[in-house]
């Protein structure tokens, strides 16, 4: 079989930076993960935040109107929300039109296309601004082949969606680079693509081509090269398991890291479904991942302990590490536990 071809994507440098981050009327922090991701990994490109409801979630950036943001140097409004279904609610339209009339282009990672909204098309034409959708997969994606590729791969997986897979992958890629290891972060979601400058929006790929998309995202590489692949969804999520499985099979990870948010009891958006245990997630990813990489193994657990004090977080992670027999660390807090997680991922066992 022929090797999967590499693909190029729109570079972040072609996007109109810096951003005014739009939070809409979203009150659930989990749905504002794009805004949080841009704040944490591209802070220098974020002028401020803008919401169209007083009780909307905040990411701690200066609050600005589109006119104020334009005066402060912003060139575009980026939609910082990833809501269920990726839709553009009618309640957002006046605020988005206001941004266009203020001289800001709009950048969106939603499933819904900006140009399909007549009011936005008209405002963009009137103001001369751009409507930019980044959640568009490349053309001519092949079906997956299952062919073993050269190089090494690490995939972040989760007990649920929106709990830190992107942050973990970025932190791990950064840690590998700091240790002199040749590594690339491979983005699979809209925020990661905005941060990295390329990638494949996996949840916008037709299901038959999910594995193929993951294969071309991480092509053949040198034996000592690592691709750190941003995970999506969860194999246990009733709505999003499909993209998780395609990504698992296509990326063929040598190592996976399970991402988990302690304290979360039910699946995000589906409160009637209990969250799986970490052990269940490890076992299922091993069972299904072995289909395309029989040598797959779990490198450890990345915990999102933002809601815990440092002392409580360290105590919890220490107990969980002893219970599971694997390194457990918060990739944002770093520290010795994170060093142990990185060492485990790099080990040849």
Domains 17-129 and 152-346 share a fold: yes
Mean pLDDT, consecutive 10-residue segments, the chain of 349 residues? 33 71 93 91 93 95 98 96 89 97 95 95 97 90 96 98 93 96 94 84 93 96 97 96 97 98 94 97 98 98 97 98 98 97 92
Closest CA to 148 of 277, 267, 4, 313: 4
Residue 176's pLDDT is: 98
**What pLDDT score does 261 carry?**
97
Residue ranges of the domains in the chain? Answer: 17-129, 152-346
pLDDT of res. 17: 87
Q: Tell me, what's the pLDDT at 52?
A: 94
Burial of 142 (0-12, 13-18, 19+ CB in 10 A): middle
How high is the pLDDT of residue 14? 66
- What are the φ/ψ torsions at residue 19 (nearest 5 degrees)? -105, 150
Question: How far is it, in rounded angstroms, from Cα 327 to Cα 31?
Answer: 29
CATH value of 152-346 in 3.40.462.10, 3.40.50.300, 1.20.1050.10, 3.30.70.3270: 3.40.50.300
pTM over 0.85: no
The CATH classification number of 17-129 equals 3.40.50.720
pLDDT the model gives residue 3: 31
- Separation between Cα atoms, residue 335 and residue 82, nearest integer Å: 31
């Amino acid at each position: 079989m022929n090797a999967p071809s590499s693909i190029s994507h729109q570079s972040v440098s072609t996007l109109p930076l810096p951003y005014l981050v739009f939070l809409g009327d979203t009150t659930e922090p989990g749905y504002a993960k794009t805004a949080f991701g841009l704040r944490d990994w591209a802070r220098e490109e974020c002028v401020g935040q803008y919401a169209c409801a007083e009780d909307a979630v905040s990411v701690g950036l200066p609050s600005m109107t589109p006119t104020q943001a334009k005066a402060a140097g912003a060139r575009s409004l980026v939609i910082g929300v990833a809501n269920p279904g990726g839709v553009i609610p009618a309640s957002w339209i006046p605020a988005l039109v206001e941004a266009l009339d203020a001289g800001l282009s709009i950048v969106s990672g939603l499933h819904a296309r900006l140009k399909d909204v007549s009011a936005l098309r008209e405002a963009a034409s009137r103001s001369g601004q751009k409507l930019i959708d980044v959640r568009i997969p490349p053309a001519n994606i092949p079906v997956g082949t299952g062919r073993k590729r050269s190089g090494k791969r690490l995939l972040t997986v989760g007990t649920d969606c929106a709990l830190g897979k992107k942050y973990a992958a970025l932190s791990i890629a950064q840690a590998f680079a700091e240790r002199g290891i040749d590594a690339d972060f491979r983005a699979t979601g809209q925020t990661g693509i905005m941060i990295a400058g390329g990638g494949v929006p996996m949840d916008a790929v037709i299901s038959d081509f999910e594995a193929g998309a993951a294969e071309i995202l991480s092509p053949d590489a040198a034996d000592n090269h690592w691709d750190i692949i941003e995970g999506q969804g969860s194999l246990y999520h009733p709505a999003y398991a499909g993209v998780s499985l395609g990504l698992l099979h296509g990326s063929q990870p040598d190592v996976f890291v399970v991402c988990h948010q302690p304290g979360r009891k039910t699946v995000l958006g589906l409160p009637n479904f209990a969250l799986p245990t970490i052990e269940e997630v490890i076992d299922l990813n091993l069972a299904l991942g072995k289909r395309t990489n029989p040598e797959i193994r779990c490198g450890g657990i990345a915990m999102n302990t933002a809601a815990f004090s440092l002392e409580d977080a360290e105590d919890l992670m220490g107990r969980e590490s002893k219970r599971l027999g694997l390194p457990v660390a918060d990739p944002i807090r770093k520290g010795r536990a994170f060093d142990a997680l990185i060492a485990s991922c790099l080990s040849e066992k």
